[in-house]
Amino acid sequence: MNSSMTPGLWELVLDGVWVTVQLLVLSAVLATAVAFAAGIARTHRLWIVRFLAGLYTEVFRGTSALIMMFWVFFVMPTAFGWQLVPLWAGTLALGLTYGAYGAEVVRGAIAAVPQAQRDAGIALSLTPWQRMRLVLLPQAVPEMIPPFSNLLVELLKGTALVSIMGMGDLAFSGNLIRLALQESTEIYTYVLVIYFVLAFLLTRVMRGLEKNLKVRTGRTVRTGSPETTADVKAGAAA
């Protein structure tokens, strides 16, 4: 196939990749923070805290990421008068949506720590917060990594939604180039391959991280195929 891509168009693709990566990193940070906050809140002893965290998870898991994005981009400015910079609006919508999926992962992993560990924490008269920080989380976090890794790939795929809002990410660059060249096979193939490579790199990094964290808690890594946990997205299975 004769390539019609000029250096200028490749530059446009690179700009798109940069926006996608920025958005991915920012929303991953927000989603992780929200996931831990909501996931830990669901183990709180006050019912109202548990209820609010549960409400947040159900609402954000129940609705579509794209609708959240419409809400943040179009409804928030008119209804509340808050106009966010596109990058932050995208981060907010994606971070809150995927944070809700992550909260379920965090809750599940904490609940999976053996009861004896909790009892030991109580026997040592640790405060609830110390128990969480020193006993439960160090054991739960390595277990969260494989589902988080899958969620991260889902988040990467989710970042493409911002192109609908007119943000210049990789998918948006793809559309611009299609318009410029009047030819779509080549550019969309490149765009898909770039997303695939990014997803591949993400899974690699996460697998390294899992190994690292497990070694620190003195456990060995299962050498199973990573796909077996791929259904976090359909979180209700947990």
Instruction: In whole angstroms, give the CA distance from residue 79 to residue 61.
Output: 23
Q: In the complex, what is the shortest distance from the CB of residue 213 to another protein, in angstroms, rounded to a whole number? A: 23
Q: Rounded to an integer, what is the distance from CA 176 to the centroid of its chain? A: 27
Q: In the complex, what is the shortest distance from the CB of residue 212 to another protein, in angstroms, rounded to a whole number? A: 23
For another protein, give the closer residue by CB, 51 or 200: 200
Q: Between vectors from CA 193 to CA 191 and to CA 199, what angle results, nearest 5°?
A: 105
For another protein, give the closer residue by CB, 88 or 188: 188
Burial of 196 (0-12, 13-18, 19+ CB in 10 A): exposed
Q: Interhelix angle for 47-62 vs 7-41, to 10°?
A: 150
Q: In the complex, what is the shortest distance from the CB of residue 183 to another protein, in angstroms, rounded to a whole number? A: 7
Q: In the complex, what is the shortest distance from the CB of residue 142 to another protein, in angstroms, rounded to a whole number? A: 23
For another protein, give the closer residue by CB, 22 or 175: 175
For another protein, give the closer residue by CB, 17 or 141: 17
For another protein, give the closer residue by CB, 134 or 192: 192
For another protein, give the closer residue by CB, 78 or 220: 78
Q: In the complex, what is the shortest distance from the CB of residue 159 to another protein, in angstroms, rounded to a whole number? A: 8
Q: In the complex, what is the shortest distance from the CB of residue 193 to another protein, in angstroms, rounded to a whole number? A: 8
Helices (H), the chain: 7-41, 47-62, 65-70, 76-80, 86-111, 115-123, 128-130, 137-159, 170-181, 185-216
Q: How many CA atoms lie less than 13 Å away from 225 in the CB half-sphere? A: 3
For another protein, give the closer residue by CB, 65 or 141: 65
Helices (H), 182-221: 185-216
Q: In the complex, what is the shortest distance from the CB of residue 138 to another protein, in angstroms, rounded to a whole number? A: 30
Question: For binding to another protein (CB under 8 A), which residues are involved?
Answer: 58-59, 61-68, 70-71, 74-75, 78-80, 153, 156-161, 163-164, 171, 174-175, 178, 183-185, 188-189, 191-192, 195-196, 199-200, 227-228, 230-231, 233-237
Q: What is the distance between the terminal CA atoms of the chain, rounded to a whole angstrom?
A: 46
Long-range residue pairs from 188-192, CB within 8 A, at least 24 positions apart, any chain: 190/5, 190/13, 191/13
